[in-house]
Amino acid sequence: MSNDNSKSKQEVTSTDEFIKGLWRDNPVFVQVLGMCPVLAVSNTAENALAMGLATAFVLLMSNILVSLLRNFVPKQVRIASYILIIATFVTVTDYAIQAISVELHKSLGAFISLIVVNCLILSRAEAFASKNTIGKSILDALGMGLGFTLALFCLGAVREILGNGSIFNIPIFSDGYQSWIVMILPAGGFFTLALWLLIINAIQTRKVKS
Amino acid sequence: MSQTSNIEMHNPASSKKMLMAMVGIGIISAFLIVMTFELTLPRVQRLKAEALEKAILEVLPGTVRTQAFGVSTNGELVKIEEGDKTETTLYAGYDKDEMLVGYAIEAAGQGYADIIRILYGYDPDEQKLIGFQVLESKETPGLGDKIEKDEGFLNNFKALDVSVSEDGKLRNKVITVKQGEKQNPWEIDGITGATISSRAIGNIVGTSTTEVVPILYQEHKKDKTSQGQKQMESDEQR
């Protein structure tokens, strides 16, 4: 383990930049960032996937722009400019989702505009993109975005299966299945998140021990 | 005090830099947003119109052509051309023989979470509501959103009585009652577990029908008599 750590400090390969968002620094399961959309929009697998991809897109584009402008923006106004950049891409995403499907836009509702205040995006802009080259920032955004999408999907799938008896709107149980309505409600989000955190932490502790 | 002046003294030139950075980013942002808006607008409008068209066909079965109407201030129906906006919008649906199927009427009101927008179909010959659909709602998934999907609830709107009495008013206002307690043809059978949402629908439909249905009914009667007269005239000419 210690050997592993020192190696990653010495030379951070580009695959590391990508992989870390998926597992070691997963934004939801490890960093526990951006809880508002995680809990609110993960009630079905479809919503979770759409929300994850929308966030990943905003993260990618804002990381690119922040990294491009990193030598041009003075320190005092950096947070303001990051928010401006993020808000721009959120608006762009909002229009794009409307153009893709009215139904999808209906089900994601207010949570698209709330991507602006998703602390995951701001934290990547501040902690990574403003200090690294474009190439690295793109890899970082892809890893973090996909990690976020994956985590949301894990929650959404569990909640939809238990709460609705279906996955991607395809019923998987026979008609006699009594769905757990609580899993679709906000409380179910907390239960499912806790469950996943438990599993992931258990795996990681076991890894450290061995 | 000394600290603030210190900061100001420290970077006298940087305010210009800051301003430039913010303005620069602002310009890039504005350009990006306007570009996406312009690019997506036609498609968004088309999708929205399609969704509405689909909803109209749903609430007025058998419709092949629609015509939008607005209600003018003195309570008359006016045809509206594309682009016009009025407070109440309704759509007349005609079947393949150009006969009136009914009117699809848009209405909105407060639900549990947010404003609910609905569309319902009115048949002036039968004096009944014949269809209903939720256009937009943010009701709780799994509970309140049953107003969109629950079959028992939607069956209420297949023949909901909204007959107009002699004095030009609605005989009975539409109202939501508890599930299983529906006794009169103008009552909506509510949903257990979605009490507030189903009651909100009752309110929206009730308020909207009291306003619009009498106007439509009078208009329809006038149309019928004038049509009849025209028919007779043309018969005489022959």
What is the radius of gyration, based on Cα positions, of chain A?
18
Q: Which range has the top average pLDDT, A34-48, A164-178, B212-226?
A: A34-48
B41 → chain A, closest CA residue? A99
Domain boundaries, chain B: 2-42, 103-233
Q: Which residues of B touch A164 (CB under 8 A)?
A: 142
pTM of this prediction exceeds 0.80 = no
Q: How far away is chain B from the Cα of A140, in angstroms, using its nearest Cα?
A: 22
ipTM above 0.85, yes or no: no
A181 → chain B, closest CA residue? B142
Q: How far away is chain B from the Cα of A180, in angstroms, using its nearest Cα?
A: 10
| Phi and psi torsions of B82, nearest 5° | -60, 135
Q: How confident is the model at residue B2 (pLDDT cuts 50, 70, 90)?
A: very low
Q: Which residues of A touch B33 (CB under 8 A)?
A: 88, 91-92
Burial class (CB in 10 A: 0-12, 13-18, 19+), B137: buried
Per-residue pLDDT tens over the stretch A145-178: 999 999 999 999 999 888 888 888 788 877 777 7
Q: Return the pLDDT at B10.
A: 54
Per-residue pLDDT tens over the stretch A72-84: 888 888 899 999 9
Per-residue pLDDT tens over the stretch B65-92: 777 777 766 666 777 665 555 556 788 8
- Is the separation of the CB atoms in A182 and A163 below 8 Å? yes
Burial class (CB in 10 A: 0-12, 13-18, 19+), A124: buried
A111 → chain B, closest CA residue? B138
Q: Which residues of A touch B142 (CB under 8 A)?
A: 43, 163-164, 181, 184-185
Q: What is the DSSP string of A26-72?
A: -TTTTS---HHHHHHS-SSHHHHHHHHHHHHHHHHHHHHHHHHTTTT
Q: Which has the closest alpha carbon to A121: A3, A200, A36, A186?
A: A36
Does any CB of chain A come closer than 8 Å to the CB of residue B49? no
Query: Which of A81, A93, A113 has the highest number of chain B CBs within 10 A, making it the mutation to test binding with B?
Result: A81
Domain boundaries, chain A: 2-209
Span A183-187, average pLDDT: 85
* Tally of residues, chain A: 210
